Homo-oligomer: A and B are copies of this chain.
Amino acid sequence: MTLAQRAPVCVLGTGLIGGSLLRAAVAAGYPAFGYNRSAAGAEAARRDGFDVSTELGAVLRRAAAEDALLVLAVPMPAVAPILAEIATLAPDCALTDVVSIKRPVLDAVRERGLGARFVGGHPMTGTSESGWSATDSELFRDAVWAVGVDEGTGVEPWERVVRLALDCGSVVVPVVADEHDQAVARISHLPHVLAEALAAAGAAGGDLALGLAAGSFRDGTRVAGTAPDLVRAICEPNATALGRVLDETITALVTARDALAANGTLGDVVEAGYRGRTAYEARARWDITGIVPGEDGWLSELRRAGQRGGVLRVL
């Protein structure tokens, strides 16, 4: 490792994801510090020995002075106000984020003129808990970390973000913003909505139904235990893509219900689901190699590799 590989990291927002990232970065040997809006959260982090302040201006000035990689780790509604501060105080810093959708973040970043140094990110991990007390330096171990390869991405900030993700123990999937948002609508936001609907339907059966519930209900409703505000913050900013996949799913369920009424069979959904689960279990992560950042077409080559299930394990 050279010094450049361990350039400082500045985490903005030290909740579950940001706080875990601060822990993981420090554990991997990065000089790292952070900002948190709530004094209680910052104080909890400081008690655990981490350098977290509630003074956003001071934190951003320090990040600019140290050429830190800024990591936006706040919910979507808080992104725009922080970007305004960054544009004023640390406009030349490399910038990434860990927000669960990518297009709205990318648009907000570009609106502020910060696009040249920005690389979107989304570690596909979490728990149903939140806040500093839930943070864990191992949260990213063996996780998938989506990293942006949108047009105009700069080599230097991209390499910094990928290196950080790898150093936290994740593998990297290169993806552009819109395709990311469509994919996570299917494999993250739809699961949340279906878990909510299932939990509500089960509880409508009263104590008898909940008393008979076993593994299929337990697993199918697990993420419905997530705080409602957090579920909304994760899903609702992806309204367009989520609406489209909800449409698809409603159509599949209506077809099943109608087939059940007409001839007592659930129809194709059973085989389609079995094939889908089988494909998920059989998915092979193959290693992307031979693409040199900065060479002609590197971004579109990485994008295509990600589409086909490729991951980066080394830089």
Binding site for B on A (CB under 8 A): 124-126, 143-144, 146, 173, 175, 179-180, 182-184, 186-188, 190-228, 231-232, 235-236, 239, 242-243, 245-250, 252-254, 256-257, 260-261, 264-266, 269-281, 283, 285, 306-309, 311
- CA A202 to CA B246, docked complex, whole Å: 12
Contact (Cβ within 8 A) B277 A225: yes
Residue of B nearest to A272 (CB): B200
Q: Which residues of B contact A285 (CB under 8 A)?
A: 211
Copies in the assembly, this chain:
2
Residue pair A246, B260 in contact (C-beta under 8 Å): yes
The answer to whether A272 and B196 touch across the interface, beta carbons within 8 angstroms, is yes
Cα separation A263 to B273 with both chains bound (whole Å):
31
Contact partner of A224 among B187, B198, B201, B274, CB < 8 A?
B274
Check A239–B225 contact: CB distance below 8 A.
no
Taking A187-B209, A239-B260 as known contacts, 12 extra A-B pairs with beta carbons closer than 8 A to each other, sorted by chain A number, are A126-B215, A183-B208, A186-B204, A188-B213, A192-B216, A198-B249, A201-B276, A203-B275, A211-B285, A225-B278, A226-B274, A239-B261
Contact of A217 among B212, B280, B311 (CB under 8 A): B280
Provide the main secondary structure of the chain A interface.
helix
Complex formed: what's the CA distance from A190 to B202 in Å?
9
A80 to chain B, nearest CB (A): 16
User: Contacts A125-B214, A209-B187 known; A246 to B236 CB distance under 8 Å?
Assistant: no
- The smallest C-beta distance from A27 to any residue of chain B, in angstroms, reads 21
Q: Is the CB of A194 within 8 A of B196?
A: no
In the complex the two chains form, what is the Cα distance from A164 to B135 in whole Å?
A: 46
* Assembly CA distance A241 to B137 (angstroms): 46
Which of A179, A216, A217 gathers most chain B CB within 10 Å?
A216
* CB < 8 Å neighbour of A225 from B211, B222, B256, B281: B281
Contact residue among B225, B227, B248, B307 (Cβ-Cβ distance under 8 Å from A201): B248
Chain B residues, CB < 8 A from A269: 193, 196-197, 200
Cα distance A254–B276 when bound, in Å? 23
Chain B residues within 8 Å of A270, by CB: 196, 228, 231-232
Contacts A214-B144, A216-B223, A270-B232 given; does A279 touch B197 at CB 8 Å? no
Enumerate chain B residues within 8 angstroms of A173, measured Cβ to Cβ.
Answer: 208, 211-212
Closest to A189 in B: B216
Residues of chain B lying within 8 A (CB to CB) of residue A179: 208
